[in-house]
Structure 1
Amino acid sequence: MELKGLHHVSAITANAKKNYDFYTKVMGMRLVKKSVNQDDTSMYHLFYADEIGRPGTDLTFFEILGAGHTYPGNNSISATSLRVPDDDALDYWLDRFNEFDVENGGITEQYGRKVIHFKDHEEQRLVLVSDQTNEGVAGGNPWAHSVVPEDKGITGLGPVKITIPDLAPTERILTEVLGFRRAGEYASDVTGVSPIQVYATGEGGTGAELHVEVRPNLPKERPGRGSVHHVALRVADMEELKQWKNLITKERLPNSGVVDRYYFQSLYFREPNGILIELATDGPGFATDEDVEHLGERIALPPFLEAQREEIEAKLKPLDTKE
């Protein structure tokens, strides 16, 4: 068994409409699924991705109305990267961010790649990373109807950074249980902090890395709008997911068991420093219940929730995504 890379990252927003406007009209991503949190159907679950929502390209958001401010800290998923094709694309994005008053740190370098650290309107901690030198997992294809030119568009998820107080227990889970390998390190931009450790899986590269920052003296993060709920990793299929379940259970890591998310099958568990990790299958995908040309235009519900559609829709504030 070998995890293939990043599958998706799920974060929190306090306002679905403003979230939709930012990620489609500024970031140029496609809303490939407008659904609900299957564990709490009173809230939207929005999926932004490449043209068809390929595994490894999804950034998703749960709408929690009234979610408070995030107080960044330890035991957290502290940065999410989005891939762009090359260094020239970063020049385009720097101009675009300045045009739309998006807070950013300019073009810098991280782990031998050019990047732009930036924040969305809710202070979600994000990084654009250039795939100029990537030789690992291939990215997806930007949507042809995006407001961003295809050759500059976001092609998927890049490295996800976690911040923890103690490296050893997390490293053991990553390397001895999940099969990640230590791939390198780079200097932190925080004075006095140890180098950030890079772990890779599968083909490696920008689409298959977790970056681990160790901050023993940092307070625990207090999540809110702009915080990340969990990171999901790619599993080939259901048969392999069952094998992962057996392994995770054997390690005595409390887990959800296999959960049917309809668009993929999942298993959730927390590693010792409290990071919520999901293992998710590559299929069947988002075109299962919608035509590819019309993804994300209506509220999509898995079959086991369809009978509750009227009740579910009555609780949600209408969100026009056909624009």
Structure 2
Amino acid sequence: MALQLTGIHHLTAITADAPANLRFYTQTLGLRLVKKTVNQDDTSAYHLFYADAHATPGTDVTFFDWPVGRERRGTHSIARTGLRVGGGASLAWWRNHLKSRCAFTGQITEIGGYFSLDFEDFEGQRLRLIDDGGKGEAHPWDRSPIPAEHQIRGLGPITLSVPELRPTEAVLTTVMNMRQVRDYPSPDGKGHVHVFAMGEGGPSAELHVAVQPGLPVASQGAGAVHHVAFRTPDVETMHEWTDRLASFRLPSSGEVERYYFRSLYFREPNGILFEIATDGPGFTADEPLATLGEKLSLPPFLEPRRASIEAGLKPLA
């Protein structure tokens, strides 16, 4: 059987206000802060991970905290992040909840085969709640301000914007072994969206590619997505992906040990940064599940620098 990715692993975005980001994603969206650490390549910046109660792979929305201006929207980018909820009643609940928190919110409508609700966070991060029909596992967090039945269950489809489909499609299908399953008009009226599935498919394992040649080239900043990561089960399959990228002469980072998972980075032809990440060992590698995210965690190679790293970080409270 061909080597397969099993779904979305995590998505990493950019914030210029870590304290406000923490409030929005834990208090307004009700996610759990499962890891408070730093960007391993820039230890002056927080790297905050929000997920479900068990910090399950496929539920992580993460942020780098960088002092930057707002993004310039456009193509050559990751344009919207899907988040799964368990039914139409949840979408209606979320629309009322988000409006009460003054979040920019659209209407509940069918998009790409799913009933959906688009909204934005305080920096313009574009998000979409997806009704996944209650399929698959759910791990509600008992300390979330969101009722258990309405909590976000994990990542849903991630939408890219590209000016031309063919180069991206070639990487997705020929290199990454995804399959094109359907298409639909872009809800903003700007282009057409092509759906690519991986593994068993479904909303947690889809990449939606909007072809939008009329848009300007995006510029990253606060409110933008930095990269999307795809799941592979273990280090053995990671080695296979490393060899596969090399066989296509696709430039990559090589395998990078992130301590909580192993990563492999590369760019698709429009410059969008992709990552393949292992499911394990996970965020309990250095903290008990019960107290995840309550203190600053550092991988072993950064631990000797803890005092200087902590002194350079802004308080989150």
Q: How high is the TM-score relative to the length of structure 1? A: 0.96
- What is the match of residue 168 of structure 1? 166
Superposed CA deviations along residues 154-195 of structure 1, whole A, max 9, x for unmatched, are 01000000000111010011011101001111111233x442
- Greater shift, 6-15 or 287-296, is seen at 287-296
Hey, what does 1:90 align to over in structure 2? 91
Which whole-Å deviations, capped at 9, do the CAs of 1:29-76 have from their partners, x for residues lacking one? 0000000000000000000000021110000000002x1011100100
CA contact (8 A) 1:7 1:233 kept: yes
Q: Retained in 2: the 8 A contact 1:235–1:282?
A: yes
- 2:239 aligns to what? 242
- Contact 1:42/1:316 (<8 A) preserved: yes
Name the aligned partner's letter for residue 124 of structure 2.
E
**Could you tell me which of 36, 40, 43 is aligned with 1:41?**
43
1:167-246 to structure 2, matched below 5 A, reads 167-191=165-189, 193-246=190-243
Secondary structure, in 3 states, of the residue corresponding to 1:122? coil
Aligned to 2:155: 157
SS of the equivalent of 1:73 reads: coil
Q: Say whether 1:285 aligns with 2:286.
A: no
Partners of 2:314 and 2:80 in 1: how far apart?
29
RMSD (CA atoms) = 1.0
Residue in 1 aligned with 2:146? Answer: 148
**Alignment-mate amino acid for residue 273 of structure 2:** L
Runs of 4+ that moved beyond 6 A = none
- C-alpha change, 1:265 and 1:140, in structure 2 (3 Å) is farther
Partner residue of 1:315? Answer: 312
* Residue 52 (structure 1) aligned to one of 36, 51, 54: 54
Q: Structure 2 CA distance, aligned partners of 1:140 and 1:53?
A: 11
Q: Distance in 2 between matches of 1:132 and 1:110?
A: 14
Aligned counterparts of 1:117 and 1:141: Cα–Cα separation in 2: 23
Name the structure 1 match of 2:34: 32
Matched residue SS, 1:242: helix
Aligned equivalents of 2:210, 2:194: Cα separation in 1? 7
Cα distance in structure 2, aligned partners of 1:133 and 1:283: 25
One-letter amino acid of the structure 2 residue matched with residue 163 of structure 1: S
Partner secondary structure for residue 224 of structure 1: coil
After superposition, residues 107-122 of structure 1 pair within 5 angstroms as 107-122=108-123
In 2, the alpha carbon distance for the partners of 1:139 and 1:178 equals: 25
1:253 to 239, 247, 250: 250
The letter of the residue matching 1:94 is R
Q: Once the 2 structures are TM-superposed, how far is the Cα of residue 319 of structure 1 from its aligned partner?
A: 2.0
Shift in Å, 1:112? 2.3
- Give the AA of the match of 1:182: Q
**CA–CA distance in structure 1, aligned partners of residues 270 and 214 of structure 2:** 14
Deviation sequence 1:78-125 (CA, Å, 0-9, x none): 000111111110111011011111101021111221110000000001
Any stretches of 5+ residues in structure 2 without a counterpart?
Answer: none
Verify the 8 A CA contact 1:159 1:207 in the aligned structure 2: yes
CA shift at 1:241, angstroms? 0.4
What percentage of residue pairs aligned between the two structures are identical? Answer: 50
Count matched residues. Answer: 315
Instruction: Verify: 1:21 aligned to 2:23, yes or no.
Output: yes
Following superposition, the deviation at residue 142 of structure 1 comes to: 2.1
Q: What's 1:305 paired with? A: 302
Gaps of at least 5 residues in structure 1 are none
Three-state SS of the structure 1 residue aligned to 2:302 is helix
Deviations, residues 219-270 of structure 1 (Å, cap 9, x unaligned):
1001110000000000010011011011111211111000000000000000
Q: Which amino acid aligns with 1:156?
A: G
Q: Is the 8 A contact 1:70 1:221 kept in 2?
A: yes
Correspondence for 2:104: 103
- Aligned partners of 2:70 and 2:191: how far apart in 1? 28
Aligned residues of 2:85 and 2:134 also touching (Cα < 8 A):
no
Is the CA contact (8 Å cut-off) linking 1:30 and 1:48 kept in structure 2? yes
SS in 1 for 2:168: helix
SS of 1:101's partner is coil
Partner of 2:76: 75
For 2:212, the aligned partner's letter is R
Q: Which moved more, 1:125-134 or 1:67-76?
A: 125-134
**2:86, 2:134 within 8 Å by CA — same for their partners in 1?**
no
SS of the equivalent of 1:298 reads: coil
Aligned positions of 1:256-275 closer than 5 A: 256-275=253-272
Instruction: Give 3-state SS (helix, strand or coil) of 2:264's partner.
Output: strand
